[in-house]
Amino acid sequence: MTWSPADLLWSLTNRASLTVFESICANLFLVLVASLGVTPVYNLLKGNQFPTKGKHVYVTGGSIGLGRAVAIELAKQGAHVTIVARKEGPLKETVELMKQAAAAQKIKSKDHHVEQKFHWISADVSNREQSIRALDEASAFHSGQVPEIIIICAGTAIPKLFVEASIEEFEMQMRLNYFGALYTVHEAVRRMVDTDVKGKVVLTASTMGLIGFAGYSSYAPTKFAVRGLAECLRNEFLMYGLGLHIYFPGTMFTPGFDNENLTKPLVTREIEGSSGITSEEAAKGMFKGLRKGYYAVTTDFETDFLRISAKGVTPMSSVGWDYLLGLVAPFGAAQFLWETNSKVKNFGKKLLKKDL
């Protein structure tokens, strides 16, 4: 029998032909190997799915941490950038860093494209009026045109045990991480639709938008909310030709991370481990995924694993890789669940001893 690709290939070796079972297995294997190669080739043919050169990009939380690294990357890519945050000092500093990065890039690439515009706006994005005012100001810098790309980075975490967290802390994180993203996206997208701008929106979730464990009860739900919003908007925006992407960073060594570690329970530290990446690595990785056109972008293995485990009904990134990871995900998840449960139970035992 020489009817299938595997049989055809095997016949080249001049050995006895494969049994039906062997043939099925070999064909499945070929499909897997082939699909691993399909996406890279497909991505290459598709080209850059997230061009930023000459575009006006609006970055919330753009003054420090991830947002600053994203802003500097954009400056190197030749974009016009407006950053929004509350404190003026870090905002001004980041604008300077963007100017330097853009100038250095121009010398390096000998590219003398049009002058890039960099602006900063001080606003509290967890406040609806201030979000709208900031967007108005940003548009005014570009003759009233709404920014073509919106990247939401502003967000915060106050990790604590559930019984130690105040309701105000729950509310504050939801107001900033979810509603803060919503106010800006809602206002900007309505303007994009009105003026027929085929823009793009990038939301920032977290590993904790895919999984929940002890210490993150006031934070993970805010990122699950962002993920829920992203799923609806990705689909709905297709009717206007707008792009919607969501980035799931794992630990990034940022000022925000140092700050949250002040309240992070020991057990939470133990579960999340000590590995992480810099905000520069995160920003570079995020743009890499966006250029490939991925809906859900990750920059570390664990979070990519969880992206598959918590996939629900969302677009694939790399067909072969997603499929392979999907096969082993249930085993890894079981192992993680088991380890995490015992860490939390042991922590509970220590707590009891302390109380006695």
Ligand X SMILES: NC(=O)C1=CN([C@@H]2O[C@H](COP(=O)(O)OP(=O)(O)OC[C@H]3O[C@@H](n4cnc5c(N)ncnc54)[C@H](OP(=O)(O)O)[C@@H]3O)[C@@H](O)[C@H]2O)C=CC1
How many Å is the maximal CA-CA distance in the chain?
76
Among 147, 199, 256, 289, binds ligand X (CB under 6 A): 256
87 binds, among ligand X, ligand VSD, none (CB under 5 to 8 A by kind): ligand X
251 binds ligand VSD (CB under 6 A): yes
CB 223 within 8 A of CB 206: yes
Query: Does position 299 bind ligand VSD by CB under 6 A?
Result: no
> Does the footprint of ligand X cover residue 125 (CB under 6 A)?
yes
Which amino acid makes up residue 177?
N
Helix (H, G, I), strand (E, B) or coil at 339: helix
Site string for ligand VSD, 207-226 (x = CB under 6 A): xx------------------
Residue 206 lies near ligand X (rule: CB under 6 A):
yes
Q: Are 267 and 215 in contact (CB under 8 A)?
A: yes
Given 58, 183, 219, 294, which residue is catalytic? Answer: 219
Output 98-104 pairs: Cβ under 8 A, ≥24 positions apart: 98/71, 98/72, 98/74, 99/75, 101/72, 101/75, 101/76, 102/75, 102/76, 102/78
| 61 sits near ligand X (criterion: CB under 6 A) | yes
Cβ 331 to ligand VSD shortest distance, Å: 9
Binding piece for ligand X, criterion CB under 6 A, among 57-65, 102-110, 227-235, 348-356 = 57-65
For ligand VSD, the binding residues in 321-340 under the rule CB under 6 A are 332, 336
Q: Is residue 74 a contact residue for ligand X (CB under 6 A)?
A: no
Q: Quick check: is 295 catalytic? A: no
Q: How far is the CB of 219 from ligand VSD (least distance, A)?
A: 6
Q: Give the closest residue to 307 by CA, choosing from 246, 235, 244, 238.
A: 246
When asked if residue 86 is in the footprint of ligand X (CB under 6 A), the reply is yes
Question: Residue type for 308, please?
Answer: I
Q: Using CB distances below 5 to 8 A depending on partner kind, what does residue 336 bind out of ligand X, ligand VSD, none?
A: ligand VSD
Instruction: Choose the stretch contacting ligand X; rule: CB under 6 A; options: 8-16, 102-110, 247-255, 341-349.
Output: 247-255
183 is catalytic: no
SS (H, E, C) 92-133: HHHHHHHHHHHHHHHHHHCCCCCCCCEEEEECCCCCHHHHHH
CA–CA distance, 86 with 60 (Å, rounded to integer): 10
The dihedral built from the CA positions of residue 238, 226, 325 and 250, taken in this order, carries a sign that is positive
Between residue 118 and residue 177, which ones bind ligand VSD under the rule CB under 6 A? 157
Does 101 sit near ligand VSD (CB under 6 A)? no
Q: Is the CB of residue 118 less than 8 Å from the CB of residue 98?
A: yes
Compute the distance between CA of residue 157 and CA of residue 172 in angstroms, rounded to an integer: 10
- Min CB(107)–ligand X separation in Å: 28
* Site for ligand VSD, rule CB under 6 A: 157, 206-208, 250-251, 256-257, 260, 272, 302, 305-306, 332, 336
Catalytic residues: 219, 223
